[in-house]
Structure 1
Amino acid sequence: MSTLPPANGAAFPDGRPADAVAGHWVDRHAPLSWRPYLRLARIDRPIGWWLLLLPCWWSGALAAIAADRTFPDPVDCLLFLIGAVAMRGAGSTYNDIADRDLDAKVERTRLRPLPSGQVRVRHAALFLLAQALVGFAVLVQFNGTAILVGLCSLLPVAIYPFMKRIMSLPQLVLGFAFGWGALMGWVAVFAHLDAPPLLLYAASVAWIVGYDTIYAVQDIEDDEMAGIRSSARLFGRRLKGAVGLCYGLAAVLVGLAAWQAGAGPVGFLGVAAFAGHLAWQVLRLQERDGAGALRLFRSNRDAGLILFAGLTADALIRGLS
């Protein structure tokens, strides 16, 4: 079986979407009856929960620097991991319920469990509820302010699936939803918000608009035919410049957040390495190269881990000095 995604975002012959990870345990070991639900939750595509998790970890690392802690709270980091997997699954299930008719018109998504009939809408709704309850169980482990802030994230999550029908930049609303973790790591420590997490949140939104624009390159031809709006269609031939602007803004805002939190040289080395990775993505980006866009999109996990490593190392060095 080929490990490379088909051209132009098409699905694999076995029904896996083009952005699924080849050889994933869902396809090799999960019971057949579970696989549509695991795919509905995107368990076979872990990049989504990584990208939801990373702003949480960045925020926790900034909070560790500001609080003179040696490293981010490991219990908080574990809770964020569990919550990211659960809520990414819940959000994806909700998105697929809302988009099942549109997904049937796009080559890359037409074989998803709902448009292909593998899962009924009623069963998907029950699965959504179960995942949301896991996420809520994680949320209530934090302080009251963090619980309130976390609950507020449901608004952008709820409206995002409908934005591609009415606005040309739905990735902005995705950024509001997916970047929310940038607030959570800080408020879990301090029980209030300050300039560093707000700057980090703005940076996360810009980063998300950039990387999801890259992701949308896979679907640009089908989106044009189906009338689905996206930033890739909006930017068109200005794609590289627009992504570069988003990424540049993200890097500057992350640097300001680190400065406001009191980061030292090691933290700023992490910011610089993060910015360098984003610049490399822009240089490699090619219009209407779906396979290349998917590889660049996935590489944002590495970019985010580089930043987290730099901020965490800064906290460690400061805590030991």
Structure 2
Amino acid sequence: MKNIAIIMGGYSSEYKISLISGNVVYQFLDKTKYSGFRIHIFKEKWVFVDDNETEVPIDKNDFSVTVNGTKITFDAVFNAIHGTPGEDGLMQAYFELLQIPQTSCDYYQAALTFNKRDLLSVLKPYGIKTATSYYLNKGDSIDTKEIAAKVGMPCFVKPNKSGSSFGISKVKTEAELPIAIEVAYKEDNEIIIESFLDGTEVSVGVINYQGKITVLPITEIVSENDFFDYEAKYLGKSQEITPARISDEMTEKVGVIAKRAYEVLKMKGFSRSEFIIVDGEPHMLEMNTIPGLTTESLIPQQAKAAGISLEDLFTNAIELALTK
């Protein structure tokens, strides 16, 4: 029986979603192979939470926990933290130093993909298309005319490093830019402003399944709101259609691009890349390396469409981590 630490929570606005993801992993873990331990990682505490919701502190020196006088160490970590410190490389580096296998990509890939600007810059030479973008760092002077001239209107103002659409605004006029920039700075001190891509939005899951890099069935996203924002993602204000209503050729094309990005970056574990298809060309928006794993989330929906149960999905992730 292997001891598996399921880490959840985190330091960002996404912690609530992460707790749901982590509990889903705990619920669907194959109990014949693994003993699951729910570990909450917060700025103020790292604790093991038992089935009675009792909290026991984690020893950060070796990531162990002592329960009723018995010290428990972990064979592997299932990483379900969206945002910092689970998706940006900090936990990955910590576990690498402790030589504890974990289910997500390595620390460099996590840090790179978490930074939207850097990710898109690295993928550009491989022919992966993106929106036209304009970068701002906190303290830079804001020239709204210059921004509007470069990216056009409408446009999107996004924090460079945040998830679940926190801090994102769709801006329709130059006059709205300063307010949107303020909102984005609440989440991050770097901003990416992107041209509006008018097309079909799709989400492409790529995983290593039983040793083979696999593109899952693609999901088309139709938001009732102006874009796929927090409400659309988590409060049912969107339609998620799997498989996407796109031609077989386009399914193949966008799948090849998502897989190429996974391979170029030497990814491991789960990834979910977002694209907007404009005039037959997929444009990449971002890549998530710890996508939501709630039962409503896209990767579980896509796995289901591929005939992979949640138990299989999670077992596969753990077994790959253990064999690394």
| Higher relative contact order (Cα pairs below 8 Å, separated by 6+ residues) | 1
Q: What's the TM-score, normalizing by structure 1?
A: 0.32
Higher helix share: 1
